[in-house]
Amino acid sequence: MTETSRELVIVGVDSAAFAPLLEILEERKTVQPAQLRLLEEEEGVADPQVFANRSIPVQSLEKFTFAPEQVVIVLKSGEAALAAMAAAEASGAWILDGADNTRGDESVTLVHPLLNMAEIGRAERRVLALPGAGAAMVAEALAPLRDQLQAVEVILNQPVSALGKGAVDAMAAQTARMFNGQEAEIDSAIGHRLAFNHLSSSEALLASGHNLSELALVHDLRRLLGEEIALDASINTASVFHGQLANVRAILKEDADLEQVGALLRNGARLKMSERPSAEEAVGGEETLIGRVRQSLINVRQVNFCAASDNLRRDLAMNCALIVHLLLKNH
């Protein structure tokens, strides 16, 4: 079977990550238009999509027949997505879960294209999962220091797009209403206004005081960096559409040598040093911005720094495209 005879199937055209993924697939010529299949739950709910100057129809997920020569990207969650994944796996296709459908399933291989791509060859099943965008960014930023790490605390400021396209649309509507002097509607699922706000948590809290996304971030980081590193995380939601920023506190096994830490970070793959990283500066880019590297005033073994990246284009779409390229070429 040749690479060009394979098909790439994307489930979830209405996902926030779909547009940047399609853009990257076209830029990198990962597939030809004839190889691309787009699916949504119901036929006719999404308009045809333009890819490489070709119009690609959006087909019905329920009517679609999966096949072993396909690589299936799942960008949406829910019962229909789970049913599609089960059907695709039964057919022998490769599946890449980009929507946390397989969260907690240890038989699914978590893959970061820079950190553990070789795990694909050892996968128990033909089902792979992408780490969450926050975990992907933080793990990549910490990778140059991995051998020195004892404990890490992450405070992630995620954008509204991390909550999905519905949240992006809701914040846009709230913003428009407020600019027109009207009262903004509060999202009943979140319980707070998204526009012009900064949420300590966009989810219900568990008994520990964490939310589910924070525990998922810790879980992904453990799988990517190693179980021996102590980890904790907080996730705030900032009133911005795209671009994430994390404050990272890393406790090293020995007293911090800032010169050495800086050199390791400067040489890290897809990392770029910036004096004062911002989410806005990172949006549209293909690197994680690292800056404000400093020794803690509390602990001589602790290094604090800031990381910022484009959560959709870089940490989801680009990582997804890199994995898909390998699957189409070698698996």
Angle at 38 between CA 114 and CA 171, to 5 degrees: 75
Task: Give the torsion sign (CA, 236, 237, 238, 242).
Answer: positive
CA distance linking residue 13 with residue 39, whole number of Å? 7
Query: Is 196 found in the same domain as 240?
Result: yes
Report the pLDDT value the prediction gives residue 42, as an integer from 0 to 100. Answer: 78
Query: Is 193 found in the same domain as 302?
Result: yes
Query: Is 282 found in the same domain as 224?
Result: yes
Query: Is 145 found in the same domain as 119?
Result: no
Query: Is 88 found in the same domain as 177?
Result: no
Query: Is 97 found in the same domain as 216?
Result: no
pLDDT tens, per residue, the chain with 331 residues: 565 679 999 999 999 999 999 999 999 999 999 999 999 987 767 899 999 999 999 999 989 999 999 999 999 999 999 999 999 999 999 999 999 999 889 999 999 999 999 999 999 999 999 999 999 999 999 999 999 999 999 999 999 999 999 999 999 999 999 999 999 988 788 889 999 999 999 999 999 999 999 999 999 999 999 999 999 999 999 999 999 999 999 999 999 999 999 999 999 999 999 999 999 999 999 999 999 999 999 999 999 999 999 999 999 999 999 999 999 998 8
Query: Is 290 found in the same domain as 232?
Result: yes
**Among 4, 78, 68, 1, which residue's Cα sits nearest to residue 36?**
4
Query: Is 326 found in the same domain as 297?
Result: no
Structural domain boundaries enclosing 187: 135-311
Provide the 3-class DSSP secondary structure of residue 39.
Answer: strand
Query: Is 252 found in the same domain as 180?
Result: yes
